[in-house]
Amino acid sequence: MSKYSQKSILKTDLRPATIAIVGVGSVGATTAYTLQLSGMIADIVLIDINKDKAEGEYMDLNHAAPMTTETQVRVGEYSDCVDAAIVIIAGGANQKPGQTRMELAAKNAKIIEEIIPNVVKYAPDTILLIATNPVDVLTYASYKLSGFPTSRVIGSGTLLDSTRLRCNIGRYYNISSDSVDACIIGEHGDSELAVWSRATIAGMNLAEFSAATKQEYDKESLHKIFEHTRDAAYNIIKRKGYTAYGIAAALTRIVEAVLRDEGSLLTVSIVGDYYGIKNVALSVPTKVGRDGAHHIMDLTLNEKENEEVKNSAKKIRAACDSLGLK
C-alpha cells in the first residue's frame, strides 16, 4: 500500500476531487498514474491536443484501475475543467539532451498562452499547478495570463530538487533522508542553490552532526552532492530522453498538501517579492493548503547564499522581461 493510501485511511478530511491534467506526454501521463495510485482523487481528466495519445493513456490507466483504486479516468476538453480543484499544466516541449530549461522559454510560453485562457474560461476558481519548464518563467506567465491571485498559481519549483538533495545527503551520511532537513531555493534550474547554512540532521547543522558521529565534514564532497542534485535532470535526459517519475511524485505531493489543507512548507514556486527582487516567481519554503500557496517568509541566509539567490531571481526576471512578461 502506498504512503498516500495509508494517509487516506488515517485521515478523514480529504474531499473527493477532480484533477485535470493538460498535456499527457511523459510527465502528464506519469502524474495521472501516480495520482491514480494515491487513492486521493475521485476523477482525473486528461486533456491533450493529440486526442489519440490522450485516449491511449486513458485506456491504459483504466486497465490498471481494478488493481489499484476506483479513481475514474477520462479524456476531456477544456470545458471538463469546470469542476477541477486543481488543473495541472504539463503541456509543452521537453528538454533535449544538453538543452537548458531556459532555452525552452519562448517555445513553451507560446503554448502556455494557448492553454491558460482556455482553462480559466471554464475553471475560474481552480488552482493552477505548473509543471512545464522553465517552470518559474511559466508560473509567472500563467499568473499574468490567468488574472488569478498569486496563491492560486503554483509552480512545481524546486520541490523535486530539495527531495533529491535530502536523499543524497542521507546517502552520504548513511541515514534515512527523512532525518535530513535541507532545501534548494531559487530557480528550478542552473542558478538554484542549496541552503547549506540551514541544513540540519537531528537538529544539528552538518558540521555538528559530522563531529557527533565521527564522520568527516567535507565541504568539497557536499558541493559535489549539490552539483549531482542540480544536474540530475541533465543526466537522466542524456540516458533516457526525459524525466517523469520524480516530477510526477512531486506534483502528487503538492496535490496532497492542497487537498488535505496541510499548511505544509514546500519549496514550490509562486510570484512574489524575494530578497529585495520584486515581482518574480521562484522557490522558497512556501505554505501550501486548500486555498493555494502563500509566501510567508524568506529564509535567513548567509551573505554568499543571499547574493546567489538574488542572482537567481534576477536571471528569472530577465527571462520574463525578454518574453515581454512585465
Known binding residue 26? Answer is: yes
Residues paired with 293 in a beta bridge: 288
8 Å CB contact between 44 and 51: no
What cell was used for 132? 512545464
- Cα–Cα distances (Å) from 248 to 168, 319, 323, in that order, read 19, 26, 28
Q: Where are the beta strands (DSSP E) in the chain?
A: 18-22, 43-47, 72-75, 84-89, 127-130, 153-155, 180-181, 184-185, 193-194, 200-201, 204-205, 264-274, 277-289, 292-294
Known binding residue 48? Answer is: yes
The label of the residue with cell 502524474 reads 31
Known binding residue 272? Answer is: no
- Cα–Cα distances (Å) from 209 to 169, 200, 218, 219, in that order, read 12, 8, 12, 14
Q: Which of 62, 88, 64 is nearest to 75 (CA)?
A: 62
Dist. CA 264–CA 272, nearest whole Å: 18
Known binding residue 271? Answer is: no
Helix H or strand E segment including 299 = none
Known binding residue 23? Answer is: yes
What cell was used for 265? 512548507
Known binding residue 28? Answer is: yes
Please say if 188 is a catalytic residue: yes
Dist. CA 268–CA 286, nearest whole Å: 6
Q: Which of 126, 134, 8, 138 is nearest to 78 (CA)?
A: 126
- Pick the catalytic residue: 63, 188, 228, 294? 188
Known binding residue 108? Answer is: yes
Dihedral class, residue 157 (left if φ above 0, else alpha if ψ from -120 to 50, else beta): left
Known binding residue 289? Answer is: no
Contacts of 227 (CB under 8 A, 6+ apart): none
8 Å CB contact between 19 and 72: no
Residue list for the binding site for NAD(+): 23-28, 48, 108
Looking at the annotation, which residues are catalytic? Answer: 188
What residues are designated binding site?
Answer: 23-28, 48, 108
